[in-house]
């Protein structure tokens, strides 16, 4: 008997989505920056929410829409729209300091510190 991918997912109890996100994740890479990887994009952003400093590494990433939602009060930020807020109480953008090329390693510590300096320049 042949089964489809969605039937296989149901059989294993795995979550079912129409287009499962591939290689999507959020990771803290320095004290002030997170790396958001989704849809082939790799963005270095502020590690904290502009509203009340929620830790964005614990946020929900909608990889298909490239939205990152704060875990505290659920502001959502459009990562392809310059980090602009699309929902929730935040007033400011989620600051994006750089986009890394596909396959490039996470920058070394001294480069990450230099990129953290861009956060202050974006205020
Ligand atoms: S701290 Fe992020 S929405 Fe309030």
Q: How confident is the model at residue 2 (pLDDT cuts 50, 70, 90)?
A: very low
**How far, in Å, is the centroid of ligand 1 from the Cα of 85?**
11
Size of the chain in residues: 123
C-beta 48 within 6 A of ligand 1? no
Q: Report the C-alpha gap between 66 and 77 in whole angstroms.
A: 8
C-alpha torsion 17→106→57→15, nearest 10: 20
Q: According to the model, what pLDDT value does residue 88 have? A: 97
**Confidence at 8, pLDDT banded by 50, 70, 90:** very low
Q: What is the largest CA-CA distance in the chain?
A: 60
pLDDT in tens, 60-89: 999 999 999 999 999 999 999 999 999 999
Structure tokens at 70: 């704060």
Which tens digits make up the pLDDT trace of 86-113? Answer: 999 989 999 999 999 998 999 999 999 9
82 lines ligand 1 (CB under 6 A): no
Pocket test for ligand 1, best of 89, 92, 94, 95 (most atoms within 8 A of CB): 89
């Amino acid at each position: 008997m042949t089964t489809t991918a969605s039937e296989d997912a149901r059989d294993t109890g795995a979550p079912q989505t129409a287009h499962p996100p591939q290689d999507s994740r959020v990771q803290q890479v320095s004290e002030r920056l997170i790396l958001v990887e989704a849809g082939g994009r790799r963005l270095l952003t502020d590690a904290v929410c502009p509203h009340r400093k929620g830790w964005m590494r614990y946020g929900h990433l909608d990889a298909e829409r490239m939205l990152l939602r704060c875990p505290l009060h659920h502001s959502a930020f459009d990562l392809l729209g310059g980090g602009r807020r699309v929902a929730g109480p935040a007033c400011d953008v989620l600051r994006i300091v750089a986009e890394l090329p596909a396959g490039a390693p996470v920058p070394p510590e001294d480069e990450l510190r230099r990129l953290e300096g861009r956060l202050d320049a974006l205020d």
